[in-house]
A and B are shown apart, each in its own frame.
Chain A
Amino acid sequence: MTTTLVKPPAPVAGRGPWQLARAELRRRTSVKISLAVVVLFLLMAAGAPLLGALGGWSPDAFDKTAIDPYLGGQPLGPLGGISADHWLGVEPVTGRDLFARVVYGAQVSLLIALTATAIVVVAGTAAGIAAGYFGGRTDTVLSRLMDLTMSFPSLIFMIAMMSVAKDVNRILLMTAVIGLFGWPGIARVVRGQTLSLKHREYVDAARVGGSGPWRILTRDILPGVAGPVIAYTTLVVPGMIATEAALSYLGVGVRPPTPSWGQMIAESVSFYDTDPMYFIIPSTCLFLTVLAFTLLGDALRDVLDPRGSRT
C-alpha cells in the first residue's frame, strides 16, 4: 500500500499522460495484487454458470445427504462439510452447495454494484459538467438538488424503498435505488474540476475558434475530468458492494433462492459458532473484493488525480 504523492518522473518525450500513468501503476505491487483479485472475482462472476457446472451443483439444489436433520441441519463432516463433492462445504439446513452459491452470489453482488456505479458515474459526471460549465441557474438548480439528495438519510431511504416495492425485479430495483443516492458525490468532484478547466486557455481558444458547447464539453472538458472520474469510480465500487450487502443483510435485497453475498452473510450470522465456515466464506469474499477495489482506487487516485478534487 503506497498512497504516496510522488511526483511522476520527469516526462519523457513522446509519452502521453496516460502512458505515464500506466507505467507508474505497473510499478506498484499493491496494484498488481488487487488487480488480480478484482479480475479473479469478475471472472468468477462472469463465468458463474460454467464454474457452477464444474462444481457439479446448482446453487438452488438441496442435498439432504450432506446434513444432519436431527441437529438443526448441521453439515455432516468437518469444516462445514467441505469434501470432494462440496468444495466449500454446504449451507446448513438445506445442504445447498456453498461453492455454487458463492459463485452465483458474486454474480448478483457484482452485477448490482457495478451497474449502480455506472449509473452514478454517468449521472454524476453529466450533472457535474453541466453545473460547472453552464453555471448560473443550471448550477443553482443542480447544486440544490445535490444538497437535497445528500440530506436524505440514504440507508434509511434505501431500506424503505426496497421494502415497499413488491412486484418488481429486485436486482433492477436495488441497482436503481443504490444509484439514486450516489450521484451527488461524484457530481461535486466533477463540478469543481470543470470550473477550474472552464477558463483554461485551451478551452477559451476553442470557444473563440467557434466550437459549440457540445463540442467543447466532449472534446475539451470531458477528457480533463476523466482522470479524477476514473479514480473516483474505482473508489465508489467498494461502497456500492458494501451497500448491496448491507441491504441484502437487512433482508430487503434479492428474493430467495437467489444468492448474494450479503444475503449469505445474513443467513450465516446465526450459525457463526456452530458452523463457522458458513459464515467465514462469504464474509471473506466480500472483504477481499472491497479491499481490492479500495487499494486499486487509492493507487489510481494517486496517479490520475494527484492533487485535490477530494473533499
Chain B
Amino acid sequence: MTRYLARRILGVIGVLIAIAAVTFTIFYVLPSDPAAAACGKSCSAERLEAIRAHMGLDQPLWRQFWDFASGIFTGRTMGTGQYALHCGFPCLGYSYENSESVWSLLMDRLPVSASLALGAAVLWLLLGLSAGVAAALRKDTFTDRALMVGAVAAASMPVYFTSVMLIYGLIRVAGLLPYPQYVSLASDPVHWASNLLLPWIALAILYAAMYARQSRSSMIETMAEPYIRTARAKGLPRRTVVVKHGLRSAMTPILTLFGMDLGGLLAGAVITESIFGLPGIGRLFYGALSTGDQPVILGVTLLAATFIVVANLAVDLLYAVVDPRVRL
C-alpha cells in the first residue's frame, strides 16, 4: 500500500511537470508579447525593452521555465530595489495584468468554483443516481423509458442553453431568484445558496443526465451477475440485495467518472461561470487568456491538472474501500 502510494504520487508529480512544460512552451513560443500589452497606448522601443527585462522575458526559454519551476518551491524575488516583489512557497509568479500573486488569485477564486462544483455535484449525484437506479430496477417499463428519454434529451442540451432558459424563466419572468452574484458561504449562507441555485441546476441537469445513463447500464450489468442471483436465491430482502450488493459494485465505474468530472469542475467551469457572472477560476482563466496574462494561465492550468490527477488517485484509493475485489 505504501509503495503503491509512493509510486502513484511520483507519477502525479511527473504528469504535472509534463503539463507545466507543455503549457509553458505553447505560451512562450507563440508570437504574443505580454510586454507590449503591458506597455500601453504609447510605448517606445526603449521602454519596451526595459519592461521585457523586468518581466524576465529576455531570458532564454529553458531559463524562464527553470526559474518558474524551481520558484514554485523556493520562492522568487521579482524586480529590484524598492519595487521588488517577493513571493514565497508556492510561488506561481505574479499576474502581468494586476501584479497580484497568482497563488493568491487562485486561492481567492477557488471557493467560488468549489461552491459551484460541489453544490452541483450533490445535486447531480442525487438526481442522476436515483434516476439511473430506478430505471435499471424497472428495466423496460414505462418509467425506465421515460427516465431515459428525459436523460438523453437533457444530456443533449448545451449548458449555455439550459442556463439562459433558467435565467429567463426563473429570474426574468417568474422573478423567483436574484441575478446570481457570488456571496461567500461564511458571510451569508442563505444568499450563498440562493445565488448559486441556478448555476447548480444548470450544471446538474447536464451531469445528472449523463450519470443516470451510466448508472442505469452499470446497475443492469451488475444485477445480472451470478453473485447477485446467489444473494437473491439465499432469500435476502430485495432492498439488501440492491443496496448492499448491487449498488456497491455498480458504483465503481461511476466513481471513476465522478473523480474526473469533479476534478475538472473544481478548476473552473468556464462557460457556466461566465454566463452567471461568477468570479471563479474559470472566469479568471478566460480573462487571463484574452489579455495574455501568462502566469495566470499557467497557474490555472497547473491547478486544474492537479485536481484531475489527485481526483484520479483518490478514486483509485477509494476503490479499495468500495470494491472488496480490488487490492492495491
Contacts and interface: CB of A to CB of B under 8 A. Distances in A.
Contacts of B139: 4
User: How large, as a class, is the contact surface on chain A?
Assistant: 35 or more
Interface residues of B, number: 53
Interface in B26-71: 26-27, 30-32
Given A164-B32, A272-B168, A157 B271 contact: no
B208 to A, nearest CB: 15
Given A151-B312, A153-B301, A250 B256 contact: no
B192 interface: no
A164 B26 contact: yes
B305 A1 contact: no
Given A151-B305, A153-B305, A155-B270, A269 B15 contact: no
B172 interface: yes
A165 B286 CA distance: 16
A156 B304 contact: yes
A307 B164 CA distance: 39
Given A147-B15, A157-B301, A166-B31, A246 B267 contact: no
A172 interface: no
Contact of B164 (A4, A156, A272): A272
B270 A250 contact: yes
A208 interface: no
A153 B267 contact: yes
Contacts of B271: 246, 249-250
Given A153-B305, A269-B275, 8 more contacts: A4-B139, A5-B220, A159-B286, A249-B271, A250-B274, A266-B160, A269-B164, A311-B253
Interface of A: 1-5, 147-148, 150-153, 155-157, 159-161, 163-166, 238, 242, 245-246, 249-250, 265-266, 269, 272-273, 279, 283, 286-287, 290-291, 294-295, 298, 307-308, 310-311
Interface of B: 11, 15, 18-19, 22-23, 26-27, 30-32, 139-140, 145, 148-149, 152-153, 155-158, 160-161, 164, 168, 172, 216-217, 220-221, 253, 256, 260, 264, 267-268, 270-271, 274-275, 285-286, 289-290, 297, 300-301, 304-305, 308-309, 312
